[in-house]
């Protein structure tokens, strides 16, 4: 198991040194950015979505695949 | 030493004819490919001399096993980029040319999407008013029918097939956490009252066996088709049917890059040398357990009594791969630059999955799709069974950039659109696909047929002249560019090759 602990060092070390704050603030920032982008996309997505979703989904049958 | 992992990828695309009550997918697939080849290429047909999908790598055929039939009557073309473009059963299918590293492979797979999108445009002129074709790069219709995205890896024939099987299964089961394309719902029976609203992969529902020859029913994690399309005394082609088609270039890169490395490690017996064995107690069940758990926390039971999550097993594979690269180098996966990129990408993705999978929304298909659909669901208060969500799942994979939801998500790319566009017409430079593609560009009218390991020239006299290409790494730009430049006709080429 010693080896296993060594493997996980890169991830576990994040929680016990000073870089924790940096990591969490940068990932929080990235998270906010992603969320804002998603919100924008959701605002406009209905324009491109299949109009008759039910018919589209119902009629799609794809047999004979590997 | 492990041999160079020459790579290929075959994608069966889903096809929908909108505006037609009795649309025929075979006819629509043929129309697409015919429209493409008549617009872009002179037609050169596929040569079926080399096809034997019923040959089994284990050296026998199991009773009742069903190899797919080779359909020689349907449209089948070879393109100037060295790829094959054809109708397989009721799908348009694109096989990349042979590629010597994973960057080339992903680029040529993306070129395939562009070729399908071009085909739709060309074919639209011939469709009756009110009809249009939609093509999806996914693996399921959501009704229990699946179609494949098959990876191919060149391997050393002298390595026992049983060692490959044992070594690579844990990787196939656990790589799903980054290779999955995501899916709303579930298409198989799940015991108990468990409901799967969203799962990591398209394909997990369809795997029922560990090892086998079938590809259309009772699909196995390891497919035993033994059809190397090259010198069968030296090589085998591992035909991998267990993966999802990726829209994300990063996911595709890591899926194939990590697998090429793991297979090189198996060739050099690295797992045994390191005393590592991740054999799973129930691999088929584990494929589904991994796919059904977006929290990535389900422990999998190993044969030796340990239990590890998919993420644990991937971390251990990565660490073994790093040590392997220090001892054996990275030549087998395309050299140091490519190999180091695979290793660092692998580590970044595993770290992201460990800290917060949702942070990989620009890298992984399943994460991008999940966030989009979950966001829409929450905003509109929809249940997971709502048709809108299923339609969004399908539309994520549309090859038409104007309709594709994937193309709106700002995903990280490895190539510019121009680089992908050039791969639509130009062959890769570092495999025999170069010779195939260049001959087709110059002399299509003198080529009677072509396939992976030969080109048949028609020089206007009997008999036809077959040029064998049994070595995947011969016929590269470095080998044949000056020869091709020095001849002015196929007859002259044949003369030089014969001398």
Among B12, B47, B19, CA closest to B440: B47
| A48 interfaces chain B, CB cutoff of 8 Å | yes
The pLDDT, as a whole number, for residue A11 is: 43
More reliable by pLDDT, B175 or B75: B175
The pLDDT, as a whole number, for residue B54 is: 83
The pLDDT, as a whole number, for residue B180 is: 98
Q: How far apart are the first and last CA of chain A?
A: 41
- pLDDT at residue A23 is higher than 70: no
What backbone torsions phi and psi does residue B134 show, to the nearest 5 degrees?
-115, 130
The average confidence (pLDDT) of chain B is: 94
| Catalytic residue selected from B88, B109, B205, B244 | B88
- pLDDT at residue B276 is higher than 90: yes
Asked if B328 and B268 touch (Cβ cutoff 8 Å), the reply is: yes
Instruction: Please name the member of B68, B379, B388 whose beta carbon is closest to the beta carbon of A66.
Output: B68
The pLDDT, as a whole number, for residue B40 is: 83
Q: Indicate the pTM of the whole model.
A: 0.94
Asked if B221 and B207 touch (Cβ cutoff 8 Å), the reply is: yes
The pLDDT, as a whole number, for residue B6 is: 98
Q: Is B313 exposed, middle or buried (0-12, 13-18, 19+ CB in 10 A)?
A: buried
pLDDT band at B48 (very low <50, low <70, confident <90, very high): confident
Quick count: other Cβ atoms within 10 Å of Cβ B144? 12
| Backbone region of residue B309 per phi and psi (left: phi > 0; alpha: psi in -120 to 50; beta: other values) | beta
What is the spatial distance between Cα B371 and Cα B381, in angstroms, rounded to a whole number? 15
The pLDDT, as a whole number, for residue B217 is: 87
Which of A43, A59, A60 is the best substitution to test chain B (most B C-beta atoms within 10 A)?
A60
Sign of the dihedral through C-alpha B407, B409, B415, B417:
positive
pLDDT band at B21 (very low <50, low <70, confident <90, very high): confident
The pLDDT, as a whole number, for residue B64 is: 52
Burial per residue of B452-465, b for 16 or more beta-carbon CB atoms within 10 angstroms, e otherwise: bbbbbbbbeeeeeb
Mean pLDDT calculated for residue range B104-127? 96
pLDDT digits (tens, 9 = 90+) for A25-46: 777 788 888 899 999 999 999 9
The pLDDT, as a whole number, for residue B488 is: 97
Q: Which residues contact B456 (CB under 8 A, 6 or more apart)?
A: B47, B447, B448, B449, B450, B464, B465, B466, B467
Q: Give the residue from chain B lying closest to A24, CA to CA.
A: B355
pLDDT band at A19 (very low <50, low <70, confident <90, very high): low
The average confidence (pLDDT) of chain A is: 74
The pLDDT, as a whole number, for residue B302 is: 98
In angstroms, what separates the C-alpha of B391 from chain A's closest C-alpha? 6
Query: For residue B46, what are its two tokens?
Result: 């596929």
Mean pLDDT calculated for residue range B417-438? 98
The pLDDT, as a whole number, for residue A16 is: 46
- pLDDT at residue A4 is higher than 70: no
Instruction: Please name the member of A8, A10, A54 whose beta carbon is closest to the beta carbon of B387.
Output: A54
Q: Which residues contact B420 (CB under 8 A, 6 or more apart)?
A: B107, B110, B111, B114
Of A35-39, B145-149, B414-418, B424-428, where does mean pLDDT reach its minimum?
A: A35-39
- pLDDT at residue B293 is higher than 90: yes
The pLDDT, as a whole number, for residue A6 is: 46
The DSSP annotation for B83-95 comes to -EEEEETTEEEEE
Among B394, B10, B451, B400, CA closest to B225: B10
| B403 interfaces chain A, CB cutoff of 8 Å | yes
Mean pLDDT calculated for residue range B55-64? 67
Q: Give the residue from chain B lying closest to A30, CA to CA.
A: B359
Residue the block writes with tokens 């086998």: B212
**Looking at beta carbons, which residues of chain B come within 8 Å of A60?**
14, 16, 141-143, 394
The pLDDT, as a whole number, for residue B46 is: 84
- pLDDT at residue A15 is higher than 60: no
Query: For residue B257, what are its two tokens?
Result: 């890059």
The pLDDT, as a whole number, for residue B22 is: 79
What is the spatial distance between Cα B155 and Cα B135, in angstroms, rounded to a whole number? 33
> Counting runs of H as helices and runs of E as strands, what totals does chain A give?
4, 0
DSSP strand pairing (B45-46 vs B447-451): parallel
pLDDT band at B321 (very low <50, low <70, confident <90, very high): very high
In angstroms, what separates the C-alpha of A26 from chain B's closest C-alpha? 11
Contact B147 A65 (CB under 8 A): yes
- pLDDT at residue B495 is higher than 50: yes
Percent of chain B with pLDDT over 70: 96
Cα dihedral B432, B433, B434, B438, rounded to 10, equals 120
What is the spatial distance between Cα A26 and Cα B67, in angstroms, rounded to a whole number? 52
**Looking at beta carbons, which residues of chain B come within 8 Å of A38?**
361, 371-372, 375
pLDDT digits (tens, 9 = 90+) for A44-63: 999 999 999 999 999 999 99
The pLDDT, as a whole number, for residue B68 is: 55
Q: What is the DSSP letter of B140?
A: B
B141 is catalytic: no
- In chain B, residues 60-79 whose CB comes closer than 8 Å to chain A: 68
- pLDDT at residue B67 is higher than 80: no
The pLDDT, as a whole number, for residue B499 is: 65
Asked if A21 and B378 touch (Cβ cutoff 8 Å), the reply is: no
pLDDT digits (tens, 9 = 90+) for B430-467: 999 999 999 999 999 999 999 999 999 999 998 999 99
**Looking at beta carbons, which residues of chain B come within 8 Å of A8?**
315
| B133 interfaces chain A, CB cutoff of 8 Å | no
pLDDT digits (tens, 9 = 90+) for B219-265: 999 999 999 999 999 999 999 999 999 999 999 999 999 999 999 99
The pLDDT, as a whole number, for residue B147 is: 97
ipTM of the complex: 0.88
């Amino acid at each position: 198991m010693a080896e296993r602990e060594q493997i996980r060092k890169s991830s576990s070390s994040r929680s016990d040194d000073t870089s924790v704050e940096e990591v969490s603030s940068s990932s929080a920032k990235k998270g906010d950015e992603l969320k804002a982008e998603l919100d924008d996309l959701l605002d406009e997505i209905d324009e491109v979505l299949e109009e008759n979703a039910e018919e589209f989904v119902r009629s799609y049958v794809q047999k004979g695949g590997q | 030493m492990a041999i160079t992992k020459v790579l290929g990828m075959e994608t069966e695309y889903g096809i929908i004819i909108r505006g037609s009550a009795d649309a025929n997918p075979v006819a629509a697939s043929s129309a697409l490919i015919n429209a493409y080849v008549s617009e872009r290429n002179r037609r050169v047909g596929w040569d079926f001399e080399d096809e034997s999908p019923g040959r089994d790598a284990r050296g026998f055929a199991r009773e009742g096993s069903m190899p797919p039939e080779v359909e020689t009557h349907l449209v089948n073309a070879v393109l100037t980029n060295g790829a094959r473009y054809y109708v397989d059963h009721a799908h348009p299918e694109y096989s990349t040319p042979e590629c010597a590293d994973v960057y080339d492979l992903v680029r040529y797979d993306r070129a395939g999407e562009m070729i399908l999108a071009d085909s739709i445009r060309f074919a639209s002129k011939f469709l009756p008013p009110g009809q249009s074709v939609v093509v999806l790069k996914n693996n399921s219709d959501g009704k229990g029918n699946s179609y494949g995205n098959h990876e191919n890896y060149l391997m050393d024939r002298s390595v026992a097939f049983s060692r490959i099987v044992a070594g690579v299964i844990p990787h196939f089961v656990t790589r799903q956490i980054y290779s999955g394309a995501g899916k709303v719902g579930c298409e198989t029976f799940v015991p108990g009252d468990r409901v799967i609203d969203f799962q990591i992969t398209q394909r997990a529902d369809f795997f029922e066996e560990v090892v086998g020859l079938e590809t259309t029913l009772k699909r196995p994690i390891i497919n035993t088709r033994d059809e190397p399309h090259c010198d069968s005394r030296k090589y085998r082609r591992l035909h991998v049917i267990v993966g999802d088609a990726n829209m994300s270039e990063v996911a595709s890169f890591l899926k194939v890059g990590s697998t090429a490395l793991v297979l090189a490690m198996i060739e050099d017996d690295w797992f045994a040398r390191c005393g590592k064995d991740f054999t799973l107690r129930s691999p088929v069940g584990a494929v589904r357990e991994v796919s059904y758990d977006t929290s990535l926390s389900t422990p999998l039971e190993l044969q030796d009594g340990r239990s590890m999550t998919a993420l644990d097993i991937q971390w251990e594979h990565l660490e073994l791969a790093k040590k392997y690269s220090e001892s054996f180098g990275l030549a087998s996966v395309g050299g140091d630059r490519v190999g180091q990129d695979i290793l660092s990408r692998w580590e970044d993705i595993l770290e992201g999955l460990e800290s917060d999978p949702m942070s990989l929304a620009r890298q992984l298909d399943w994460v991008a799709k999940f966030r989009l659909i979950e966001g829409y669901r929450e905003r509109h208060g929809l249940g997971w069974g709502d048709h809108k969500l299923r339609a969004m799942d399908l539309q994520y994979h549309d090859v038409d950039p104007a309709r594709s939801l994937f193309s709106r998500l700002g995903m990280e790319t490895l190539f510019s659109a121009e680089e992908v566009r050039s791969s639509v017409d130009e062959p890769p430079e570092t495999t025999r696909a170069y010779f195939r593609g260049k001959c087709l560009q110059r002399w299509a009218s003198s080529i009677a047929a072509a396939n992976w390991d030969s080109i048949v020239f028609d020089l206007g006299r009997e008999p036809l002249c077959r040029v064998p290409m049994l070595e995947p790494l011969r016929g590269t730009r470095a080998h044949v560019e000056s020869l091709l430049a020095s001849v002015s006709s196929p007859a002259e080429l044949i003369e030089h090759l014969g001398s």
